[in-house]
Every structure is written in structure tokens, then in C-alpha cells.
Amino acid sequence: MKRFLTMGIASLLTLSMMAGCTSAAAVSDGTNSAKFDFEKDDAGFTPIYADYPASEGVEEFYEFQHDYGKVPIDGAGNGIFISGNNHSDDLFMGYVKALEGFAPARTYHFTVSFKLATDVESGLVGVGGAPGESVAVKCGVTQTEPAALPMEHGGVTYYRLNIDAGRQGNGGKDMVVVGDMVKEENNRPGEYEFKEFTAEFDTAANVLGEVYLVIGTDSGFEATTSYYLDDISITWEEAAQQPIVTRGQAAQMLFNTADRPSADPAKCPFQDVAQDNPNIEAITWAQENGYLGGYGNGLFGPENQMTVEQAMVMIYRFFSSPAADQSVLNHYEDGSRVSAWAKDAVAWTIANEVFQPDGTISPQEPITVEELATCLGQIVVAC
């Protein structure tokens, strides 16, 4: 059984709390759950908009509005409101909530439920699509803090999400489509009514022990969309089995640790990595920089499991393969089982407290998402 040093992780957690991240424990009722009814305040939910041009005055042109207040439904309490006018064929808007207090890098099963108040009837016609059916409601739980970052496309800079939310009616690896904006009852034109949504996710907390809940809409309707969110709840439990890292996921995790440098997916040399593979940019970057290569014959094996020693070689190469003292392997009962091509890497990562086994290294065993993320967390501390 492998164990990893957590001193660096603790330091990161301290920094996280100093930054004001809301603790899941602080809002939980003691049953691994958090509930937000917005009766007192906005509970720290932060609005986010994406897929619009990064130019001066565009927020006013897109009529962005967000507020906390009474939901206009009889008997309803307070909620959080958001609105925007889509002028760019595709507009994402929603709210983000940070939760902390999870075991760093551990995978959890999350169940999210919420109410969305909409006043849109079915069967309406609009530019770009219907105001109800063409506005997808999406939800996700991700270890990456969602943010809208400026990215150039076709000579124009747009604000794009740094997570994969999909596009319009299609979900992505970080958010799924749970429905649309159409009211279930059409006998009250112009009036708001609640729709209830539920979604489930398996997500690993980041090395700070944080996850981010994100709820929003992705619009193909080129006009104004407005709605309220209320009664948001999230429950969680540790996954029954911590998932093993694939080679594609490992490349992505290192890529994220390096702050997602640019890479051209079109230059990916591997025939078994499809252009729509969610990790293709990271795989291309890892190969171009010599951190993670293929098997030969144009194959990478993106779904193959990564072993402990393979992961340590990837990290070692990330640090430019410095000199290593292999004698450190003699302190472990299975140190002699480390493959010759991995001895320097495993020895160096142990000596520098990136990887700290207790008793055994288990070099040929698969490495879990939690274990690799813990190692990469030490890189964050070192940097």
C-alpha cells in the first residue's frame, strides 16, 4: 500500500482558507451535504459569463445582470437572479460555488439538485433558436475553479470557460445538460414557475481539498434569457473505489499543474488519439516536451492504465531529468523491482518528497487519481 507525504498539502489548505474559500463542513448538516435556500444572503455564489467578445463596453451591450432577491413566484422565498442578452450565437451564464474540506485528490460521488425559475413557454420562435428549447440548463462539479478567460479565435478575442462545459445543447466532461428553459405548464403566460433538476457526478477534489459547483445555461437563442436559482443542495460520499489514472488523464493532470500551456491538437502524432479526445491538447503538449511518449508505431494508449514508475518518470522529465542517487531505493523492500529505465526517476521523486511510499514502492502497480494528484500537489508547493 502506497502512502504519500501530506505536509505540502496542508500548507496549500492553509492558503486556501486564507483566501476565503467556504468550508463544506461549515454548511453541512452533518450528513455529507450542503443546502442553500438563500433566505439570508447569496451564500457566496458567484456569477459567471462566457462566450462573448472581450472588448470595452460589451457587458453593457449584452445587458448582463445578476442579483439576490425575491423569486417572483407565490410562496417562494429569495433566490439568485441572472440575465443576459446573447449577441454572439452562444452565451454561457450561471453561478459558481466553492466548497472545501474534502480529502485532497480523493474522488467523491456527488448528487446535485436545484430549482430554476423560468417564464419561458414552449413552442416559441426566436433568432438562432427557441427561447426555451434552445437554451440548455447545465450543471457540474469540477476540481478546477471555473473562470472566463480571454482566448483568441478567428482574430477576435472572446471570454471562454476554462472548463469543458460543452457547447449549447451538448454537454462536456465538466458539465452535463440536465434540461432546458421551457416551463412545464403553459397556462400562465409571462409568469415564472419552478423546474427541478438533479444530476450526479464522480469528481476528485483538487489538491487543496476543494470542488466547485457550477450551474448555468448555454444559449443558442440570440436574445435575452433570465432566470432564478433556488433551493440548491449537494450531497456526497467517497467513491467506493478510487479510480486508476489512464495515460491520457495523467497527461491532462500534468498539463493542468503546468497552468495549461498552449498546444496545437492538430499536431498530435498519435493515431489512437482522436481529435475529439478531451485530453488531446495535454497529450500533444506532453509528447512535444518529452514528458510522456508513445509506444511506437504511432500509438499512445490514452486509455491504458499508468503505473507508479511510469508516473514518476513523467514527473522526473518535467523537472528536466536531474541527477539522482539510486541508493535511496535500498530503503524499500521492493526497491530492486523498479525497472532500470525508471530507477533515476523513482529515486529522485522519493528523495525530493514528491513521492513518499511507506515500506513498499509497488512500482508496477497502477497509480490512482488520488495518488498522482497528491504527487503533483507537491510540485505545486515546490514551485
DSSP 175-200: -EEEEESB-S--SSTT--EEEEEEEE
Average pLDDT in the 56-73 region?
95
- Given this model, what pLDDT does residue 211 score? 97
Which residues face 321 on adjacent strands? none
**CA–CA dist 319, 341 (Å, integer):** 16
Q: Give the chain's domain count.
A: 2
Flag whether 1 is in a domain.
Answer: no
Residues 230 and 276 in one domain: no
Domain of 23, CATH number, reads: 2.60.120.260
- Given this model, what pLDDT does residue 187 score? 66
**pTM to 2 decimal places:** 0.77
- Given this model, what pLDDT does residue 7 score? 34
For β-strands 135-142 and 78-85, DSSP reports them as: unpaired
DSSP 290-318: TSS---BTTB--TTSBPBHHHHHHHHHHH
- Given this model, what pLDDT does residue 1 score? 33
Residues 228 and 251 in one domain: no
Could you report the per-residue pLDDT of 235-294, keeping only the tens digit for each?
Answer: 999 998 889 999 999 999 999 888 888 889 999 999 999 998 989 999 999 999 999 999
Residues 230 and 308 in one domain: no
Residues 266 and 215 in one domain: no
Could you report the per-residue pLDDT of 162-219, keeping only the tens digit for each?
Answer: 899 998 888 898 999 999 999 988 667 789 999 999 999 999 998 789 999 999 999 9
| Distance linking the first and last C-alpha atoms of the chain | 28
Which residue matches cell numbers 455564489?
45
**What is the residue range of 102's domain?**
7-238
The residue among 238, 271, 302 that closes a domain is 238
Residues 229 and 251 in one domain: no
Q: Given pLDDT bands bounded at 50, 70 and 90, which one contains residue 360?
A: very high
Query: Considering only 8-12, 18-22, 102-106, 210-214, which range has the smallest mean pLDDT?
Result: 8-12
Determine how many CB atoms are found less than 10 A away from the CB of residue 338: 23
Residues 225 and 300 in one domain: no
Flag whether 60 is in a domain.
Answer: yes
Residues 234 and 281 in one domain: no
Flag whether 2 is in a domain.
Answer: no
Residue 14 reports pLDDT greater than 50: no
Q: Given pLDDT bands bounded at 50, 70 and 90, which one contains residue 26?
A: very low
Residues 177 and 308 in one domain: no
Residues 268 and 364 in one domain: yes
Residues 221 and 301 in one domain: no
